[in-house]
Amino acid sequence: MRMDFFVAAIDTLAGERFVILRPNELPSTLFFPSSVEEFREGLRSLAVSQDEFVVELQTMGLQADEISHELDRARSSQNPIRSEVVCERTTSVGFRNPQRQVVVRKTDDHGSGPFERMYELECEDCGCRHRRGGSEVHSTSCPRCQDDD
């Protein structure tokens, strides 16, 4: 199976459409959507008809059996896109991770990764406030409570 692209099928007002996503060509808006609906709209803007999808795959050098496989793979991707999706951003104020750390605010400070920001969290157990990069918010524990262990 080729890994230089990904495929997805999506429902639009015009019917079923297909998307070919090449990691090195993805628009930045897909990486930082403000909502699930914004992500879906980004996909819809890239979507093409089945005929156009097949022609693009042929242009990429895929044979008929491979194209059939990619159509099946794209359609199997529809379930998460079609269904009701609960998307909770771990960097939203009020987000509470399993370690009982709550996002209090986004700071203006940069984190360690590209485009990453630092967030202030508060421990629901001891009230300690601490900062973490956005990529760590979902799994971080309280530094004070960890020291007490």
pLDDT in tens, 6-34: 888 888 888 899 988 877 766 665 556 66
Q: How many domains does the chain have?
A: 2
The values of phi and psi at residue 104, to 5°, are -95, -45
Asked whether residue 93 is domain-assigned, the answer is no
Cβ(7)–Cβ(21) below 8 Å? yes
141 vs 149: CA distance, rounded Å: 12
Asked whether residue 90 is assigned to any structural domain, the reply reads: no
Looking at the fold, whether 54 and 12 belong to one and the same domain comes out as: yes
Whether residues 70 and 106 share a domain: the answer is no
Assigned domain for 95 exists: no
Tell me: do 77 and 23 sit in the same domain.
yes
Q: Are residues 107 and 73 in the same domain?
A: no
Kindly report which listed range (59-63, 96-100, 113-117, 127-131) carries the lowest average pLDDT score: 113-117
Task: Decide if pLDDT at 86 tops 60.
Answer: no
End of a domain among 82, 112, 138? Answer: 82
In this structure, are 74 and 12 located in the same domain?
A: yes
Both tokens of 53, joined, read: 């999808």
List the domain range (segments joined by +) for residue 20: 6-82
Whole-structure pTM over 0.75, yes or no? no
CA distances from 77 to 13, 24, 148 (A): 18, 20, 45
